[in-house]
Every structure is written in structure tokens, then in C-alpha cells.
Amino acid sequence: MSEIETSRLLLRQWKNEDLAPYTRICADPEVMRYLSGPMTPKQSEEQLSQFVGHWEERGFGLWAVEEKSSGAFLGFVGLLYQEQWPEGRHKTEVGWRLDRSFWGRGLATEGARASLRYGFEELTLARIISIIHPKNIASRRVAQKLGMTSRGETNFKGNDVIWYAIERREWNADALSSSERTSQNSPSRTSRTLGE
């Protein structure tokens, strides 16, 4: 598993000690408001195991996110292959879920931007999507800040969703033309592979 560093975040492999704070995040009704609703400790543990399994099966996935300055566990950000996605053949989603105390600081955008770069530059994906509840305005803003555009509405796993996407050629054009990329928005990848 690759690690990625951004200005403020470390995107890293999952550790056993992440389970307790992850369970707390997933039990927060506000965090889970536009998702499946609050999760039990058992559901959180099972989901975390699925994240690790996704990495083992596909070679990419959702990273655990740590704040570099404090070492605090924030949640997750990264890429997830959505097997049941009905809208075309490009099924890799960029997603995020952060502890509510860290909202409003641009951290989801920072981590998701690093994930997009990894998906396009390392995995050479053609398109990355984001699946969002229509009322989740904060996540829709994150998608827009990433340069993703709304592609329509659909039903996914029994829920009405709006979905966003960005193509690799759009990302490349943005990377070449944008002058706003500072060190905060430009992750540096480490070369070590973990979890072997």
C-alpha cells in the first residue's frame, strides 16, 4: 500500500488502533446523515475489514487519514471500486469521511485531490466518479472544488444520488493550466509499499 503526504495530511495504511476512533466517527449521526445512518461497532469493524480487503484485491483503496501536526486519526479518503455502479464502465469513486471536528478546514478536498492525482497518474484511470446524496451540499462543494462536474442523478443501492465525474484529460489540462497548486495541494508520494 502506498502512502501519500500532503501539506497537512498523511494518507496511510490502516492500523488496528484505528478501529476505535473509526467506530466513533461512524456512530456520529451528523457524520452519517447522508450515508447509511449511524453504524454499530460491529458494522464499523466489518467495513474497515472490507477496506483492507479492497486494497489486497485491487491494489488501491481508501487510506486512513492522519493529521500530520497532531497525529490524530481523521477518518478516510481515497478510491473505491463500485462494482454495482450502473452508469457506465468507469466505476472507481473518490470518497471521504472525516471526523466532524475536522470539518470546514479543506481537509477532505486536500485528501481527495491527492487521491485523484494517484488515480490518474499512478493507476492511469480514464475517469473517476463521486457518488453523493443530493442534499449533501458540503460534499457536492468538495467535488466541485476538485474540478468534477455533475453528470446527473441515478439510483444506487436503493438510494437516489447525484454523481460527479472528472476525466483524466480534464485533470491533465487542469494540472497544466492551474497556477493555484501550492504545496498544500501537491502531494509528495513516498516510495515505500506497506502491508506486505
Query: For residue 151, with 0-12 CB atoms within 10 Å meaning exposed, 13-18 middle and 19 or more buried, which class applies?
Result: middle
- pLDDT of 192: 28
Q: Are strands 159-167 and 188-193 parallel, antiparallel or unpaired?
A: unpaired
pLDDT in tens, 106-117: 999 999 999 999
Domains along the chain? 2-187 (3.40.630.30)
Q: Each residue of 6-34: pLDDT tens digit?
A: 999 999 999 999 999 999 999 999 999 99
Give the whole-angstrom CA distance, residue 121 versus residue 102: 28
